[in-house]
A and B are shown apart, each in its own frame.
Chain A
Amino acid sequence: MENSETNVTPLLSAEAVDMSVLKAFEEMHSDEESDLIVELIDLYLEDAPIRLKEIRDAVAENDASLLKRATHSLKGSSSSIGVLQVAEICKKLEQMDCQESPRQVEAIAQLLDYKFAKASEELEAERQRRLS
């Protein structure tokens, strides 16, 4: 039977990044500035791995406080620029207790790594497309 905390099946089929969310910020861009979308991608790809490491550390050490803080932070930036699957997994992890269900938390944290890698590829491709 499906468990509401671990039911991430819908996440497996969709795109990792909803580019329409990210590209909506193009309207805030002005001609004199560098490409805002590229800047956002660069900032995200620089900061998210730090949060992911914190999440891995929190899972390894059963640190509920660090897990909540790191997933909360990654959820906010991910949802804001359209990295919706990562945001959704962070939301699930944020609500879970790594001391009560460590194996489930570990499994979802691994899925988070996988989805982030997929999102990174899509963001990197968008970045290259804009710079070329």
Chain B
Amino acid sequence: MFTITQSSRRVLVADDDPVMRKLVTTAIQRAGLVVVTASDGREAYRILQSDAGFKAAVFDMMMPHLKGLDVIRYMRTEKRLMRIPIMIISAEQDIKLMANSFAAGATAFLPKPFTPEQIRNTLHMLVGNVKPTRQAA
């Protein structure tokens, strides 16, 4: 057993769609992790410029200003960010997009629509087992 610090429980979620952001955020919180949200790729990029304390990141493929793959490419060129596992979520199930995501450096790919079980399994693949912690209100 080991103690997981607060910073290693943080997951960065970037999605311009509030419905998807809520779904992803809820799934991550249910896994016992802490979510930091960004409403588009540019905001995610700005957060990552000054903060590398994330256990994982989840990006939507198509976001305004800066797409998910562009943020991944940035992260893979930065030494302090390059080890953070990244999940890409996409409304397309196109095999080429999936290949492009992995080529850019994504760790996991989740097509929409997804079931609770699918996002849970993909999160598990991304971050492994994280015991939920009960926090005082």
Residues of A within 8 A of B (CB): 21, 24-25, 27-30, 32, 36, 39-40, 43-44, 46-47, 69, 72-73, 75-77, 79-81
Contact (Cβ within 8 A) A21 B62: no
Q: Residues 81-114 of chain B: 1 if any A CB is under 8 Å from the residue's CB, otherwise 0?
A: 0000000000100000000000000000000111
Question: Which of B62, B113, B114, B137 interacts with A72 by CB under 8 Å?
Answer: B62
Contact (Cβ within 8 A) B62 A28: no
Contact (Cβ within 8 A) A27 B116: yes
Contact (Cβ within 8 A) B116 A76: no
Contact (Cβ within 8 A) B114 A73: no
Contact (Cβ within 8 A) B113 A28: no
Residues of B within 8 A of A (CB): 16-20, 22-23, 26-27, 30, 60, 62, 91, 112-116, 137
Contact (Cβ within 8 A) B19 A81: yes
For A76, list chain B residues within 8 Å (CB).
Answer: 17, 20, 60, 91, 112
Contact (Cβ within 8 A) B22 A40: yes
Question: Which of B23, B30, B62, B137 interacts with A80 by CB under 8 Å?
Answer: B23
For A29, list chain B residues within 8 Å (CB).
Answer: 26
Given contacts A69-B62, A72-B62, A79-B112, contact A28 B27 (CB under 8 A): yes
Give 10 closest A-B pairs by Cβ, nearest first: A76-B91, A77-B19, A79-B113, A80-B113, A43-B18, A76-B112, A43-B19, A28-B26, A44-B19, A77-B17
